[in-house]
Amino acid sequence: MIDTWAQIGYLISAVCFIVALKALSSPKSARSGNLLGAAGAVLAVIITFVAYKPDHLAAILVALVIGTIAGVVGSRRVQMTHMPQLVALFNGVGGGAAALVALMELSHVRDGETIAAIATAFTILVGAISFSGSVVTFAKLQELMTSRPVTFPGLPVLFVAGILGGVALSVWLVTDPRVWVGVLLCLVGLALGVMLVLPVGGADVPIVISLLNAFTGLTVAAGGYVLGNALLLIAGTLVGAAGTLLTKLMADAMGRSVFNILFGAVKGGSTLGGGTASDRPVISGTPTDVAILLGYAQRVIIVPGYGLAVAQAQHVLRDLVEELHSRGVKVDYAIHPVAGRMPGHMNVLLAEAQVPYEQLREMDEINGDFKSTDVVLVVGANDVVNPAARNTPSAPIYGMPILNADEAQRVIFLKRSMRPGFAGIENELLYDPKTTLLFGDARESLTKLLAAVKNV
71-103 burial: b if 16+ Cβ within 10 Å, else e: eeeeeeeeebbebbbbbbbebbbbbbbbbbbbb
Separation CA 316–CA 423 (nearest Å): 27
CA distance 224 to 216: 12
Residues paired with 334 in a beta bridge: 361
**Selected catalytic residue, list 204, 332, 383, 406:** 383
Q: What's the Rg (C-alpha) of the chain?
A: 25
Question: Is 383 among the catalytic positions?
Answer: yes
What distance in Å separates the CA atoms of residue 160 and residue 305, rounded to the nearest whole number?
Answer: 37
Write the secondary structure of the chain as one string of H (helix), E (strand) and C (coil).
Answer: CCCHHHHHHHHHHHHHHHHHHHHCCCHHHHHHHHHHHHHHHHHHHHHHHHHHCCCCHHHHHHHHHHHHHHHHHHHHHCCHHHHHHHHHHHHHHHHHHHHHHHHHHHHHCCCCCHHHHHHHHHHHHHHHHHHHHHHHHHHHHCCCCCCCCCCCCCHHHHHHHHHHHHHHHHHHHHHCCCHHHHHHHHHHHHHHHHHHHCCCCHHHHHHHHHHHHHHHHHHHHHHHHHHCCHHHHHHHHHHHHHHHHHHHHHHHHHCCCHHHHHHCCCCCCCCCCCCCCCCCCCCECCHHHHHHHHHCCCEEEEEECHHHHHHCCHHHHHHHHHHHHHCCCEEEEEECCCCCCCCCHHHHHHHHCCCCHHHEEEHHHHHHHHHHCCEEEEECCCHHHCCHHHHCCCCCCCCCCCCCHHHCCEEEEEECCCCCCCCCCCCHHHHCCCEEEEECCHHHHHHHHHHHHHHC
What amino acid positions are annotated as catalytic residues?
383
